[in-house]
Amino acid sequence: MKFKLPNPGLEDRILSYEQLDSLEEKEAGDRPKWDNKTQYMLTCVGFCVGLGNVWRFPYLCQSHGGGAFMIPFLILLVLEGIPLLHLEFAIGQRIRRGGLGVWSAIHPYLTGIGIASMCVSLTISLYYNTIIAWILWYFFNSFQDPLPWSQCPMNANSTGIVSECERSSPVDYFWYRETLNTTPNIEDDGGLQWWILLCHICAWSVLYICIIRGIETTGKAVYVTSTLPYVVLTIFLIRGLTLKGSLNGVKFLFTPDLAELAKPSTWLDAGAQVFYSFSLAFGGLISFSSYNSVHNNCEQDAVIISIINGFTSVYAATVIYTIIGFRATERFDNCLSGNILALLNMFELPEGYITDSNYDQVVQRLNETSPEIIQQLDLPTCNLRTFLSEGVEGTGLAFIVFTEAITKMPLSPLWSVLFFIMLFCLGLSSMFGNIEGVVVPLQDLKVFPKSWPKEAITGVTCMFCCLVGLIFLQGSGNYWLSLFDTYGGSIPLLVVAFCEMFSVVYIYGIDRFNDDIEFMIGHKPNFFWQATWRVISPLIMLVILVFYFITKVSEKILYKAWDPESDNFPTLEEKLYPSWIYVIIFILAGIPALAVPLVAVWKCVMTKKRDKYIDNIVDQIQINDEIKKMPA
Amino acid sequence: MEDVVPLLLLLLCVSSAAAQLCAPDASNGYKVRLSLLTALGDEAYVWNDSEMFLFRAAMAFAMRTADGQNYNVSNVLVCDETPRVSFWFVVTSPLNSSLLVERRQVEEAVRKSRNRINSAFLLTDNTLEFLGIPPTLVAPTPPSSPPWLIVFGVVMGAVGAGIVLVLGTSVMQSRREKKKAQTGFEEGEEESRAEGNGAASDSVYNLSFSDDDRLTQM
């Protein structure tokens, strides 16, 4: 006997099989539909494949034992990613509502899950588009030769180069000063940066025109935004492999270090990466799936999209590391030739006396004969591994490391334009899913009047997000963004995903769900799906949630600031957040997560109140009837 | 035999005087360092006396251009040559061969004709170094209008036009539909009423009346 919580009235809230079939035949209903299967697949792939595949996965791969990281990644992909994806697709296709409607149809008390995923989608939409604005800024600046981040600008009285740039590097300076104009700490807001404001408006305008009529316009846009990144990645792979030192990078990335598999943090990071990479629990995937025809094979779709997502992560990691290998080799060569020159000059030796191969022996010999001079020279040690393992992720990888590598390649403006177009497409296609996860629940909650056309709804949403997103355009915007990224998009999603699985399996009922899938695709889900949905995946989600929560709560809440006045400039300085930030963190992470139980309790109380009210009315009618029946 | 000794002594005097004028760390001298292999790789020439002669001639040329006086190759004294290919040089005045030209004047002359001196040796500011005379920085000229604004303007214009177009077509479409609905309203009124009754059985039940069983079990 399978465990199932009582759920009266479920039949009345969802369409029966006959109704679904008749809906299908008559093509009735006002729900939008995909023009063809390709659009649906491209939209889902675009939503799943995002900036994280390019700048988070390669870093995790390299820092957790290279090729060995594939093992936990693939295992958790199969045990956690694919089942959750299939579940979301199937439930969306069956109940045919958006991310919020699905949960309120399964049980009104579960509306909180929908509200939580809407809040998370909203939080992420706010800051994700700012990253796209930064990408646009770099894209606009790529149409010049030499690229503006390849050299330092002159200072005010043209006596030399700007000191902040001289002490760090041209790419650092361009990112932190000319793009962000960042303040030394989060309390100084630094005012709005007008150039990024323009790019921000441009980013929201481009997004608006793509989602203006919902999937009618999104479906056309994804033909470009989902396919272009693969084209550009291939171009970069071919270019990268022809550069010197690229194979060093690829070898470094994939060299397995099996000792890392014993550490729990590796598995935790792999699980979290699989989860976030699939964009689960946002509500967007459920919504996209609900526009499909009822008998679409969602099982096949889930498997195909998971494979594509996994493959893209590995492919992008390879491409990124060919370029990083090139950059590290370049740095190593420069370091070595700088040292050699210093030695030649100091000891007045002829050129060609010291080469790359005999460098170490010569240094040793010189150290024996004249150690004080060597000491005085203070030669930096040149180690290729150190340069390769300058593991950078996130915005640092894209805007500092990669841009620097591009300046060293011939025809740099071309590579820069291609790279930033690729990042733009990756980000934009993910934004489609995020906005879907915000707009459709708002429609379900009837926030907008019914008479409003779709264009007005998407317009108001975009306008609102654009205005709130102005926080991230200040001087301290980068710090706010990483705050939102760390706390807004992590714990609530894990809570929502766990609740989703629990609700579908134990409140909707796994038996009913199996029957639904048999009705939709023709055969019952096999033992693998049963085992993962009922036990394995919820367990993994719970473990990841608990460990994530513990690590986040126990670690000191620090942020890395770019402070030209700090002692170890240009290294980023770690600073403590001010105490009022804890309130913001609670709002970001706590409120969506708490929305699930709170809304359930509130709905319960409202139902009891309404039942009591109805009881009172019924009693009143009864009394009236008895009075009428009594003889006068 | 007796003639040779004073000649030898004279030569010694002259050379020692020259040696005293040109010495490493001389106050009015500069150290020069050439990096031929770095600059030219396989096409590097060998540094020999002829090349040194060319250097002294180039320096004399630079002094002439800056000063106007008739400097000669003999006015440029070189010493302390090393296998690195680095050496010290000083410049003597053409009027008085024991008087050295001021450091500043030599620097000015080198700065003025730096390009010509570099080209004579197929080298650059970094590979033909005058230690103490920094290479002149080329100030990057900022473009008149920032190029990014142009690209931004193009993209924004295209997107803006697109939005206006889409909104315009949807407004026109809704107006057309409203007109059709108005003309077809009178004809379809009967049909729609009949359909309305039938639709109730297909729609989802209103939740508040689903607790019927509770009422009947009184």
pLDDT digits (tens, 9 = 90+) for A170-218: 999 999 999 999 998 888 888 889 999 999 999 999 999 999 988 889 9
Does residue B35 belong to the interface with chain A, where contact is any CB pair within 8 Å?
yes
The pLDDT-based confidence of B194 (bands split at 50, 70, 90) is very low
Q: Given this model, what pLDDT does residue B157 score?
A: 94
Q: Give yes or no for a contact between A310 and A278, defined as CB atoms under 8 angstroms apart.
A: no
Inter-chain CB pairs, A–B, below 8 Å: 99
Gap between the Cα atoms of B147 and B164, Å rounded: 26
CB < 8 Å from B in window 90-119 of A? 108
Nearest CB among A199, A345, A455 relative to B84 is that of: A345
Across the interface, do B148 and A141 touch by the CB < 8 Å criterion?
yes
pLDDT digits (tens, 9 = 90+) for A274-291: 888 999 999 999 999 999
| Residue whose pair of structure tokens reads 């316009």 in the numeric block | A217
From residue A291, give the alpha-carbon distance in Å to each of A35, A146, A211, A284.
10, 48, 15, 11
Across the interface, do B207 and A137 touch by the CB < 8 Å criterion?
no
Name the least confident of A302-306, A349-353, B118-122, B163-167.
A349-353
User: What secondary structure letter does DSSP report for A110?
Assistant: G
Does residue B175 belong to the interface with chain A, where contact is any CB pair within 8 Å?
no
Long-range pairs, A548-557, Cβ under 8 A, ≥24: A548/A268, A548/A272, A548/A490, A548/A491, A548/A494, A549/A491, A551/A268, A552/A486, A552/A487, A552/A490, A552/A491, A557/A581, A557/A582, A557/A585
Q: What SS3 class is residue A285?
A: helix
SS3 sequence, A297-361?
A: CHHHHHHHHHHHHHHHHHHHHHHHHHHHHHHHHHHHHHHHHHHHHHHHHHHCCCCCCCCCCCHHH
Q: Given this model, what pLDDT does residue B201 score?
A: 41
Tokens of A316: 């992008």
Q: Given this model, what pLDDT does residue A307 score?
A: 93
pLDDT digits (tens, 9 = 90+) for A381-427: 888 888 887 767 788 888 988 999 999 888 999 999 999 999 999 99
DSSP of A72-106: HHHHHIIIIIHHHHHHHHHHHHHH---TTHHHHHH
Across the interface, do A212 and B211 touch by the CB < 8 Å criterion?
no
The pLDDT-based confidence of B14 (bands split at 50, 70, 90) is low
User: What secondary structure letter does DSSP report for A503?
Assistant: I
Mean pLDDT across A318-345:
89
User: What secondary structure letter does DSSP report for B30?
Assistant: E
| Among A149-158, A365-374, A562-571, B159-168, the range of highest mean pLDDT | B159-168
Chain A: residue whose CA lies nearest to B32: A345
Q: What SS3 class is residue A408?
A: coil
Q: Give yes or no for a contact between A42 and A301, defined as CB atoms under 8 angstroms apart.
A: no
Share of chain A above pLDDT 90, in %: 39
Q: Given this model, what pLDDT does residue B207 score?
A: 44
Does residue A198 belong to the interface with chain B, where contact is any CB pair within 8 Å?
yes
Gap between the Cα atoms of A403 and A55, Å rounded: 13
Mean pLDDT across A105-118:
91
Mean pLDDT across B33-59:
87
pLDDT digits (tens, 9 = 90+) for B195-213: 444 444 444 444 444 444 4
Relative orientation angle of helices A264-277 and A537-554, to the nearest 10 degrees: 110
Minimal Cα–Cα distance from A334 to chain B, Å?
13
Using the CB atoms, write b or e for A599-621: b if 16+ within 10 Å: bbeebeeeeeeeeeeeeeeeeee
pLDDT digits (tens, 9 = 90+) for A591-632: 888 988 999 899 889 888 888 888 889 999 998 999 888 876
Gap between the Cα atoms of A160 and A447, Å rounded: 58
Across the interface, do B211 and A139 touch by the CB < 8 Å criterion?
no
Mean pLDDT of chain A: 88
Q: Given this model, what pLDDT does residue A284 score?
A: 92
The pLDDT-based confidence of A468 (bands split at 50, 70, 90) is very high
Max CA pair span of chain A: 130
pLDDT digits (tens, 9 = 90+) for B88-116: 888 888 888 888 888 888 888 888 888 88
Across the interface, do B202 and A19 touch by the CB < 8 Å criterion?
yes
The pLDDT-based confidence of B11 (bands split at 50, 70, 90) is low
Q: Given this model, what pLDDT does residue A113 score?
A: 92
Q: Given this model, what pLDDT does residue B199 score?
A: 43
Does residue A394 belong to the interface with chain B, where contact is any CB pair within 8 Å?
no
Gap between the Cα atoms of A442 and A42, Å rounded: 25
CB-CB neighbors (< 8 A) of A205 in chain B: 156, 159-160, 163
The pLDDT-based confidence of A231 (bands split at 50, 70, 90) is very high
Q: Given this model, what pLDDT does residue A185 score?
A: 86
The pLDDT-based confidence of B19 (bands split at 50, 70, 90) is low
Give the CA-trace dihedral at B71, B74, B77, B80, to 10 degrees: 150
Share of chain A above pLDDT 70, in %: 99
Does residue A614 belong to the interface with chain B, where contact is any CB pair within 8 Å?
yes
Does residue B85 belong to the interface with chain A, where contact is any CB pair within 8 Å?
yes
Residue with the bigger pLDDT between B195 and A19: it is: A19
Residue B67 has pLDDT above 90, yes or no: no
ipTM: 0.82
Q: Given this model, what pLDDT does residue A115 score?
A: 92
Does residue B166 belong to the interface with chain A, where contact is any CB pair within 8 Å?
yes
Gap between the Cα atoms of B195 and B190, Å rounded: 9
